[in-house]
Amino acid sequence: MRAAAGRRARHDGSAAAQKRRFDRQGYLVLEDVLTPREVARLRAALDEVLRSARGLRHSTRKFLVVRDRQGKYLVSRVRDPIARHRRFHDLVFHPRILDVVENLIGPNIQLQQTRLVLKPRTPEAFFDWHQDFPAFPHTNFDLVVVSVYLDDSTPENGCLRVIPGSHRLGPLLHRFTFEGARRTMIADRRLVADRSRWRELPVRAGGIQVHSANLLHSSRANMTDRPRRAVLLWYRAADNVQVGGGTDNPGWGLQVRGVDPGIVRMEAGTCKLPRGIVVRPAAAVPGRRPR
């Protein structure tokens, strides 16, 4: 189904069904949201960006670099792609993507950050089981991550793995890399020990995968010769204010649809704050959006 949550879908009930499925499982997989031409243009933009990474032997503000088993240096991530090429900037406003997001978190939408994960062939390019929310806690849970695939994502090249429904656990305690962990990971490994609950989410190039920031997810390393490149777009409801984690990434707080209502919506509960507190308790005045 093309652009599964486009405005046209609102008239045939599919958008409501997608919202129910997302609320129940914590994720959606939607094929053919981008056209082949759009995917080709994004791949060409990535090729342009990567020209400046030739010969890199260490990570920079722009690129994360890893080594493969032969000692070759490879780019595994482009940091802040919204600032690296106009096509990635324009992608965050893509109407078919925003239609999906609006259906899940409402009409007033802001950008939180962007990433571009290349997942080259190396045992170092994997992600342990984790949630996204604890690294960037907000005042409520309307924070979603949209992965836009530039290549086919398969179990062999490291597609996303999830535990359906785990978002309903709320924010969990994590061990972060800045605390000495090799990878950011959930602290209580018992919650991910039952492999029968794991589900792999293959997606074709041009498709998207959307998940709640509280969904437990991971991915294996890509040990094939097939690339698995994806642009990650983090969106939040405009009344969802970030209270911890970094905010210095380009595009943070960009209003991509609707308006900023000028209020803060609070979700009951507690969450450990990571480094980089954004809003001090004294600044969280009800009815006023901290700046």
Mean of pLDDT values over 95-122: 97
**Tokens standing for residue 252:** 């943070």
Number of independent structural domains in the chain: 1
pLDDT, tens digit, for every residue of 240-270? 999 999 999 999 999 999 999 999 999 988 8
Percent of the chain with pLDDT over 90: 79
| CA 26 from centre of chain | 13
Rounded Cα distance between 247 and 69, Å, is: 34
Q: Would you say residue 285 lies in a domain?
A: no
pLDDT in the model for residue 11: 37
Q: Would you say residue 97 lies in a domain?
A: yes
Q: Would you say residue 143 lies in a domain?
A: yes
Q: Examine the pLDDT at 222 and tell me if it is beyond 70.
A: yes
CATH number of the domain at 168, please. Answer: 2.60.120.620
Instruction: Cite the beta strand spans of the chain per DSSP E.
Output: 27-30, 63-67, 73-79, 109-117, 127-130, 143-149, 160-162, 174-175, 185-186, 199-201, 208-212, 217-219, 230-237, 255-257
Q: Would you say residue 68 lies in a domain?
A: yes
Q: Would you say residue 2 lies in a domain?
A: no
Q: Would you say residue 44 lies in a domain?
A: yes
Q: Examine the pLDDT at 286 and tell me if it is beyond 80.
A: no
Q: Would you say residue 291 lies in a domain?
A: no
Contact at 8 Å (CB) between 75 and 119? no
Rounded Cα distance between 144 and 164, Å, is: 15
**What domain range is 53 assigned to?**
7-279
**Tokens standing for residue 146:** 């949209």
Contact at 8 Å (CB) between 115 and 145? no
pLDDT in the model for residue 283: 42
